[in-house]
A and B are shown apart, each in its own frame.
Chain A
């Protein structure tokens, strides 16, 4: 028995794993192909086959025959609708290789799930229905594969049984595809005439296509040379976790993203530039002399320099870029569109960036037609754009086309926490080292001290006609009467000057608030009490302003007047114009208002005189010890 096991392992030591996906248009046979591969490589057990036969009779699309797609379409909804919705990861193994395959959905509405599958694949099988040829989705998926860095394509011309195994059909499709894909930068495109349903040219060459002299699909998967690109790249080590069990041990745990490292090598911390040498490479199985891309290790350094989670260790000569602005390709994955200027959270390697935004969408890419770039200010679900991104802290990265591990990022909605986008960095726009803060000798404290007050921002938010300006004005007068130095910023007034170039689209509203926030902050820094009155309908932007200033300096006042009441008052006649369609994107009518979840002051205005409401604001300021009412 021992010799037996040794034998099977002997052959296995060099065995590697290939990760690939199947993609292509709806119903081209992706799931069927995977089911067929699993079945013919004997990965399906008898009890599973019996279950499959039962399922095929109930949900199948293949009449009396077994429907192999049901082996992979595992969700109830998928079986009922007979389509793939989410990626399935399946596994099979042959004596030569072990495989992990992601079956991705063909429907356009699930494109984000296809991109999810592509992000970890080394190779893609792109299927084309022989009867239909290249379709819009074929192009879309090819583009996504290319953008996500897949360099090897197996072009499976499927359902060849339905075109009588004709060579001219096959040759025609291959010719069209190669012409189309020439711009996509694939290293290899290997074509196969196959029938996923009947198994032609999948495991063995088929007698039905005697004109075809190439390999079978599985032969190719087993032997294709996918060089491990990552070991030849410069050393990158994103620090995941600092291991500090006792005072004598401080190690940096992580997985080497690219390149290799040996004990004694010099390293630098990308963001700070500080350098040290590798003292030990620690693993549970003993210390290593050297380690390479893909190894999960713990690195100890010779001297104690400041390193924490999110830092990237690199070699001293070929360093990653450190920048807080970069250009990137972005795919949007959320129903709620991406808006220029809005603040999102980012993950880049092990770096968590609490806040950043897309400052500009340079253009949107029409992946269906490959038409020239389109101008845009938002990206909707499944749309692609080339964008400028700014982050509040500098990040360390490499261009994605050079290094997939250190050039990719995800975008997260700061409120819902959904993963809303994924990006691939192209190049830095401004290196962080160029920007330095001009140090000021006289600061906010000194300036406010001279005025004998505590500076703050009192931010009124609410619908148009809610009473913001009225209440803000009274607050201003009362503070003034108490000898406070104040300044009132009003949305309408700012739109005449500073924000005169902005309209009322989502992007413009966001920019409007961003500028107002920055101005308010400057005034705050000069020691003033700044009263701001802006509809400011989005939670994200209000919070962005809050983040700009100190914790106790921002007082959000929610002027809560029901929409019906605002419409009834309609002091400027705006609601009636909005309702008759003369004004687009009017908050409360054509555009949303996101009420604050936990404002510092919540004013319920119905039936309350403005005077009293203003007093409530002053009470709140007093309670926070910003002013004193005695």
Chain B
């Protein structure tokens, strides 16, 4: 930690709205631990997961995290994400479960030949359902935010899932005050979005003020990319075949959101520090999900995926 960071820590004053969001998330996390038998935190390695993990450490301090982290690995994540994930688990000293849908691998499902929709269905949604059932988790924290997408804006903080994990938007439990209905029966589960009320800007401001480590891919650097379908796709390893007329080039880019590398669009940017990112965020004219190739597959696709059990 350099001197400048230290100084910032000592004078830590969060703006009031961030303090409120922080306290609200902590309250939700404690509620889950008090009420459920076997919770798990879904850790996707992105910025929201970084904040979620940081909040969890605060919520249960000085105790250790009373639940494991779980990463649903599609085997197509950026290499830097995997390195960061393992470092983080070591640094905080927590149990990390990594789950891969072996069946999907055996069937040869991948984002390039199978298409993003099938890949997401098998390697993310199905994998998640599998893992929840194998380990018998009854509640799963997710880092999704309501400002990400319009069907998420409609979802409860405690999102009840019947035995097949499906979200039923027409039949959500009313959620009043801070009184959460945590009752479920056997085989039913709860998805818990402790950061529902955060915005992307809140996340970055909080990361800056709290000095939270994030994957380096969020910072601008020269990286090898190709232009594809109107986005910049990074050549993270040798598995991405070049199409005719495509030539890789070095560009100074970064990511606003991270997922499977062939499905994550990069943005051109000069932002190399968190301060730069916050400044860029305030000026940007496009949304965070712009770069995600999976959402635009079809109209209302997020709602559809959630009905099938996606996060």
| Chain A interface (Cβ < 8 Å from any Cβ of B) | 1-2, 4-5, 8-9, 12-17, 45-48, 71-77, 79, 85-91, 93, 98, 100, 112-113, 115-116, 119-120, 240-241, 243-245, 249, 253-255, 282-285, 294-296, 298, 309, 333, 345, 347-350, 404-405, 408-410, 412, 417-419, 422
Contacts of B287 in A (CB 8 A): 45, 47-48
Known: A4-B279, A91-B197, A408-B176. 19 other contacts (CB 8 A): A5-B275, A13-B13, A17-B21, A46-B285, A47-B286, A73-B150, A77-B169, A89-B153, A115-B176, A282-B62, A284-B61, A285-B12, A309-B34, A347-B181, A408-B179, A410-B177, A419-B174, A419-B181, A422-B174
Contact assessment for A14 and B16 in the assembled complex, using a CB-CB cutoff below 8 Å: yes
Among A100, A116, A254, which residue has its beta carbon within 8 angstroms of that of B30?
Answer: A254
Contact assessment for B147 and A47 in the assembled complex, using a CB-CB cutoff below 8 Å: no
A300 to chain B, nearest CB (A): 11
Contact assessment for A74 and B151 in the assembled complex, using a CB-CB cutoff below 8 Å: yes
Among A85, A285, A417, which residue has its beta carbon within 8 angstroms of that of B184?
Answer: A417
Query: Any chain A CB within 8 A of the CB of B223?
Result: no
User: Interface digits, B161-181 against A, CB 8 Å rule (1 contact, 0 not)?
Assistant: 000000001101111111111
Contacts of B64 in A (CB 8 A): 245
Question: If A45-B286, A86-B154, A418-B173 touch, does A75 touch B63 (CB 8 Å cutoff)?
Answer: no
**12 sample A-B contacts, Cβ–Cβ < 8 Å, listed by A number:** A2-B4, A8-B282, A9-B205, A14-B15, A16-B17, A75-B169, A86-B172, A87-B154, A348-B179, A410-B181, A417-B181, A422-B174
Contact assessment for B17 and A98 in the assembled complex, using a CB-CB cutoff below 8 Å: yes
Query: Any chain A CB within 8 A of the CB of B293?
Result: no
The answer for the CA separation of A8 and B280 in the assembled complex, in Å, is 12
Query: Any chain A CB within 8 A of the CB of B58?
Result: yes
Contact assessment for B197 and A296 in the assembled complex, using a CB-CB cutoff below 8 Å: no
The answer for the CA separation of A17 and B170 in the assembled complex, in Å, is 29
Contact assessment for B16 and A17 in the assembled complex, using a CB-CB cutoff below 8 Å: yes
| Chain B interface (Cβ < 8 Å from any Cβ of A) | 4, 12-13, 15-17, 19-23, 26-27, 30-31, 33-34, 57-64, 146-147, 149-154, 169-170, 172-181, 183-185, 196-197, 199, 201-202, 205, 208-209, 273, 275-276, 278-279, 282, 284-287, 290, 300, 303
Contact assessment for B146 and A89 in the assembled complex, using a CB-CB cutoff below 8 Å: yes
Least CB separation from A408: chain B residue: B177
Least CB separation from A255: chain B residue: B27
Contacts of B173 in A (CB 8 A): 418-419
The answer for the CA separation of A177 and B125 in the assembled complex, in Å, is 50
Contact assessment for B279 and A5 in the assembled complex, using a CB-CB cutoff below 8 Å: yes
Among B57, B175, B286, which residue has its beta carbon within 8 angstroms of that of A46?
Answer: B286
Contact assessment for A115 and B15 in the assembled complex, using a CB-CB cutoff below 8 Å: no
Least CB separation from A3: chain B residue: B275
The answer for the CA separation of A88 and B148 in the assembled complex, in Å, is 12
B174 to chain A, nearest CB (A): 5
Contact assessment for A100 and B197 in the assembled complex, using a CB-CB cutoff below 8 Å: yes
Least CB separation from A409: chain B residue: B179
Contact assessment for A75 and B154 in the assembled complex, using a CB-CB cutoff below 8 Å: yes
Contacts of A93 in B (CB 8 A): 199, 201
Contacts of A17 in B (CB 8 A): 16-17, 20-21
Among A13, A91, A409, which residue has its beta carbon within 8 angstroms of that of B146?
Answer: A91
Contact assessment for B285 and A45 in the assembled complex, using a CB-CB cutoff below 8 Å: yes
Contacts of A243 in B (CB 8 A): 60, 62-63
Question: If A285-B12, A405-B177 touch, does A295 touch B23 (CB 8 Å cutoff)?
Answer: yes
Contacts of A100 in B (CB 8 A): 197
Least CB separation from A42: chain B residue: B285
The answer for the CA separation of A285 and B63 in the assembled complex, in Å, is 14
Contact assessment for A1 and B197 in the assembled complex, using a CB-CB cutoff below 8 Å: no
Contacts of B58 in A (CB 8 A): 283-285
Contacts of B34 in A (CB 8 A): 240-241, 309, 350
Of B177, B202, B208, most buried by chain A (CB within 10 Å of CB) is B177
